[in-house]
Amino acid sequence: MLLSLLSLSFLTLLINATPIPSRGGQQLYKRGSFDYDNDKIRGVNIGGWLVLEPYITPSLFEVFGDTIPVDEYHYHQTLGKQLTASRLEQHWSSWITESDFESIKGTGLNMVRIPIGYWAFQTLDSDPYIQGQAEYLDKAIQWARNQGLYVWIDLHGAPGSQNGFDNSGLRDSLQFQNNGNDQVTLNVLKTIFDKYGGSDYDDVIIGIELLNEPLGPSLDLTKLNEFWDTAYWNARNAGSRQNVIVHDGFQSMGYFNDKFQLADGYWGVVIDHHHYQVFSTGELSRTIDEHVQVACEWGEQSTAENLWNVCGEWSAALTDCAPWLNGVYRGARYDATYQSSTYYGTCDGSQDISSWDQTTRDNHRRYIEAQLDAFEKGAGWIFWCWKTESAGEWDFQKLAYNGIFPQPLDNRQYPNQCGY
């Protein structure tokens, strides 16, 4: 893919061998431990660990009975700091361990994306959050290094919430661009750049993601563009050598084609797209052939981008039936229990892979394989997520164990679905 009119081979040489000045005048080099031009990311997200998501670990939330907190913010607020610290320390120390990283490596994956919230590094006076997540991030980076895995650090939640989703820490709020919250986010990113952006992590960290899923259509896009630009140059002026990962803000593919170009002094930028087909009734109404066709189109579209691009989140899901996937106290569109009068089918047994009939197994395998082929048209993919308590369509471990996710990763029961 082109970052300018220069050829790829020359660009690669230029970026890795030639000092590129930042706006502050520093001489910076693009680090080269992962070759986004020629290698493929085949990764998995460590979801539900350092940022809680009720549908991933419902047992943490079900104990509240009739007053279940809808997100991590209210989890901390409801329990208070002392009890929250006790419960989350137990969760952090047990949900993900180095044995998980050994298993990740053993399945043929080569990287992990690790979501973490702003509150791990800085809290607002009004925040109920406890801290301690950063210590486990450090452990995870070392585990990845031990196992020969690469890491993206993903700032998954911003103060006030950048999208109103529970995975930002605070549901039903969209105050990221108000009350100075965007500046707090920039400050947190600087902390991350300062700590993790240096040469000590060149062998393991191959990206720092500025912000997960800012809801561009509902935010001031001009201000969001300014945020991305400021954050990028803060990274470079802080001496960060790491690639900068920019989520697409739910803009169409190609939106960034005229931004972050090498000719304008930018380097080491990767665009992160997230692709799902279950969060609207129109998507749920598709046949398996239509799901596959859409996935294949994603691959074609990625080749029209002028920047490295990775699908940083995707899943095997053909339904939105995983309990609380749409949020605590919310049902599913698929069975018409949430925001829909259209019934597509029952959710009973939809997340228990062991109960799937052969057609259901085949459909999910077809869909996964089409996405694997599509996303490797770009720089690769990162599945969401490594494991869940009971959401089978979103659980890499369960899918692989049951023969739904290819093992080895290049094994195809449905080759050439996309025709490329």
Contacts for 129-138 with beta carbons within 8 Å, 24 or more apart?
129/72, 129/73, 129/76, 129/169, 130/76, 130/81, 130/84, 130/85, 130/88, 132/85, 132/88, 132/89, 132/92, 133/50, 133/92, 136/49, 136/50, 136/92, 136/93, 136/96, 137/50
DSSP-based three-state secondary structure for 354: helix
C-alpha to C-alpha distance for 283 and 375, rounded to whole angstroms: 19
C-alpha to C-alpha distance for 297 and 180, rounded to whole angstroms: 39
Catalytic site residue 313? Answer: yes
Residue 344 sits at φ, ψ, to 5 deg, of -105, -20
Residue 130 sits at φ, ψ, to 5 deg, of -95, 165
Dig out the tokens for 24 from the structure: 């502050």
3-state helix, strand, coil split of the chain in percent (to 5) is 40, 10, 50
Contact by Cβ (8 Å): 357, 83: no
Catalytic site residue 389? Answer: no
Query: Annotated catalytic residue: which of 72, 209, 213, 369?
Result: 213
Residue 352 sits at φ, ψ, to 5 deg, of -100, 95
Query: Annotated catalytic residue: which of 313, 369, 376, 393?
Result: 313
C-alpha to C-alpha distance for 325 and 54, rounded to whole angstroms: 8
Dihedral of CA atoms 340, 329, 272, 21 in degrees, nearest 10, equals 140
Q: Which of 241, 243, 50, 46 lies closest to 134, judged by CA?
A: 50
- Partner residues linked to 157 by β-bridges: 117
Q: Which residues are catalytic?
A: 213, 313
